[in-house]
Amino acid sequence: MTLRLRYVAGVTPARWLRVWDELRPDLPLEAIRVDEADQLTALAAGEADLAFVRLPVDGTGLHTVQLWDEIAVAVLPKEHPLADAESLALADLEGEPIAPQQPDPAMTIELVAAGTGHAVVPHSIARLHRRKDVVAVPVTDAPPTRIALVWPVDRDDADIQQFVGVVRGRGAKSSRTEGDAEPAIKPAKAAKLAAAERRAADAKAGTGKGAKGGKGKGAGKSAKSGRTAPRTGQGAKQRNRRRGR
């Protein structure tokens, strides 16, 4: 028997898979990424037991646990006049050409790189399909998207509940509570996090402050050994004479 999981691009289930492998070696977990357009297809066909989806979806006949929000970012060509902005508002993008949206987000971002326009996508999608010729700038007033874990009502058993507990960080024996959802990250705070991540990536590519070393306050201390230095002077000589040295 296998627990079958589907997940959309932008979700990284590796950490939960590791916990599950340790917790339930008797029940292997099969995880397959699917296109967003097909995020419920396997569940509806009985070919999957759970799915990480990007809301909104038709939740008829499904249990839904909302997990986290994804901020929206504008993906722009690197040479675009707005590419150096820390953040943008939707008004900043008015009149800007929009790249033709493709079923595969990677293709949409490729069209952005080709200069056809910009695209507003979840931050996780932009990060997954990161390219050197485009940048992702947080859009602070764009509505966020939300990731949720869903499964059929008629498939709500102990194994499912145990996996839900793993995802939510609860103990293995904890059960789901109705309305028990993680607090959403506020767009402004999430925008700052995304901007910080972008600056860190730029610094890593160049010679940022983190590359400097040896001049911090603790640099001299780290070179010292933990041994007490030998005592010198008249007092030390008198002590040595008393000890017969």
Mean pLDDT, rounded, of the chain: 80
pLDDT at residue 116 greater than cutoff 70: yes
* Cα separation, 194 vs 136, whole angstroms: 9
The model's pLDDT over 14-44, given as tens digits with 9 standing for 90+, comes to 999 999 999 999 999 999 999 999 999 999 9
Q: What average pLDDT does the segment 115-131 reach?
A: 95
Looking at residue 162, its pLDDT comes to 96
65-75 residue pLDDT tens: 999 999 999 99
Based on the fold, state whether residues 8 and 120 are members of the same structural domain: no
Verdict on whether the full-model pTM lies above 0.75: no
CA atoms within 13 A on the CB side of 12: 5
Which residue did the predictor score with more confidence, 238 or 71? 71
Contact predicate 145/38, CB 8 Å: no
DSSP state of 221: H
Whole-angstrom Cα distance, residue 169 to residue 188? 25
Taken as a whole, the chain contains a residue count of 245
Please measure the distance between the N-terminal and C-terminal CA atoms of the chain and give it in whole angstroms.
79
Do residues 131 and 20 share a domain? Answer: no
In a domain, 124, yes or no: yes
Split into its structural domains, the chain has a count of 2
Q: Are strands 29-34 and 3-8 parallel, antiparallel or unpaired?
A: parallel
CATH number of the domain to which 44 belongs: 3.40.190.10
Listed range (12-16, 96-100, 111-115, 214-218) with the worst mean pLDDT: 214-218
Residues 64 and 81 in one domain: no
Whether pLDDT at 240 is above 60: no
Answer yes or no: are the C-beta atoms of 120 and 74 closer than 8 Å: yes
What residue numbers bound the domain in which 21 lies?
3-69+144-174
pLDDT in tens, 193-237: 555 666 665 666 664 444 444 444 444 444 344 444 444 445 445
Helix (H, G, I), strand (E, B) or coil at 111: helix
What span, in angstroms and rounded, lies between the C-alpha atoms of 172 and 105? Answer: 35
pLDDT at 169: 85
Residue 191 placed within a domain:
no
| 198 within a domain of the structure (yes/no) | no
- 233 backbone φψ class: left, alpha, beta (φ>0; ψ -120 to 50): left
Convert 178-213 to b/e letters by CB count within 10 Å (16 or more is b): eeeeeeeeebeebbbebbeebeeeeeeeeeeeeeee
Shared-domain flag, residues 31 and 128: no
The answer on 17 and 100 residing in a single domain is no
Residue matched to tokens 């610094």: 203
